[in-house]
Amino acid sequence: MSGARMKLPAIVLTILGAGLGLLAWSQTWFDLVLASGAGAHVSAEVIAVPGSVASPAIAALSLAGLALAAALALAGPGIRVVLGVLEVLLGGCLVLAAALSLGDPVGSVSASVTEATGVAGSAPTEELVGTAVATLWPTVAIVAGVVVVVAGLVVLVTGTRWPASTRRYRSGLEPVDGGSVAAGDASEASERAASDRAIDDWDELSRGDDPTDDTNDPDPNR
């Protein structure tokens, strides 16, 4: 597939990765069971720890990915290279944020432990963690980051050969690239001429002349 045809797949991959990251962030990342200890009253029920608690940065990174996809659709060749580098870094941050949470489940669920027990501090909350079993969603977030990285690499390799996004027009009448003027522009020009005549009539009234009196009109054919 030529570089010019990779614009849409790269943007779609970016949106897919960022959307997948947001979806993972909104789901349960850990099933937490508290252990009795430290004199705190705890429950043996399973507490669902969402991604918004386990890894809050995932949401901001995913939203940045969606914004970057919109920028790619409008950017010129040089800016696309910069955006491609940013996208690779953004995807890497997604992978890192999810991997750190998955690698430290006790630290990831500490906020939920504090909310359930009122006990704060890393050591006390660690004592109250019985089990913290990871679900599939942290892995999904890692996959989302990998997708964003791949999309960024595609942008870096092919972005300078993408076709222009839109045609720019000068003053709403003439296309910059020399294309034909739309049929509606003729009527718009006619309306503008009528508006100019109305302004002339108003100026005559301001001077005390009657624009409807042909004797005051220097152009009798008007």
Three-state SS sequence of 172-193:
CCEECCCCCCCCHHHHHHHHHH
Residue 36 and residue 136 share a domain: yes
> CA–CA separation, 135 vs 133, rounded Å?
7
Q: Give the end of a domain, one of 115, 132, 161.
A: 161
Residue type, 172: G
CA dihedral 169, 175, 178, 182 (to 10 degrees): 180
Residue 93 and residue 189 share a domain: no
Does any domain span residue 221? no
Residue 106 and residue 207 share a domain: no
Residue 40 and residue 61 share a domain: yes
Candidates 135, 114, 133; CA nearest to 123 is 114
**Structural domain span for residue 211:** 170-216
Determine phi and psi for 90, rounding to 5 degrees: -65, -45
Residue 177 and residue 87 share a domain: no
pLDDT at 217: 53
Residue 140 and residue 190 share a domain: no
Candidates 129, 124, 112; CA nearest to 39 is 124
pLDDT at 66: 96
Q: Are 65 and 21 in contact (CB under 8 A)?
A: yes
Q: Are 91 and 151 in contact (CB under 8 A)?
A: yes
Candidates 193, 214, 212; CA nearest to 201 is 212
pLDDT at 69: 95
> CA–CA separation, 222 vs 106, rounded Å?
87
Count of the separate structural domains present in the chain = 2
Does any domain span residue 186? yes
Burial class (CB in 10 A: 0-12, 13-18, 19+), 171: exposed
pLDDT at 118: 78
Residue 65 and residue 111 share a domain: yes
Tell me the CA distances in angstroms from 8 to 3, 4, 72, 163, one per residue in order: 11, 9, 10, 10
> Can you read off the two tokens belonging to residue 173?
């009448």
**pLDDT < 50 positions in the chain:** 38-40, 167-183
pLDDT at 193: 57
Residue 121 and residue 209 share a domain: no
Residue 95 and residue 148 share a domain: yes
pLDDT at 166: 54
Q: Are 103 and 183 in contact (CB under 8 A)?
A: no
pLDDT at 64: 97
pLDDT at 176: 47
Q: Where are the beta strands (DSSP E) in 83-213?
A: 129-134, 169-170, 174-175
pLDDT at 123: 77
169-182 pLDDT, tens digit per residue, is: 444 444 444 444 44
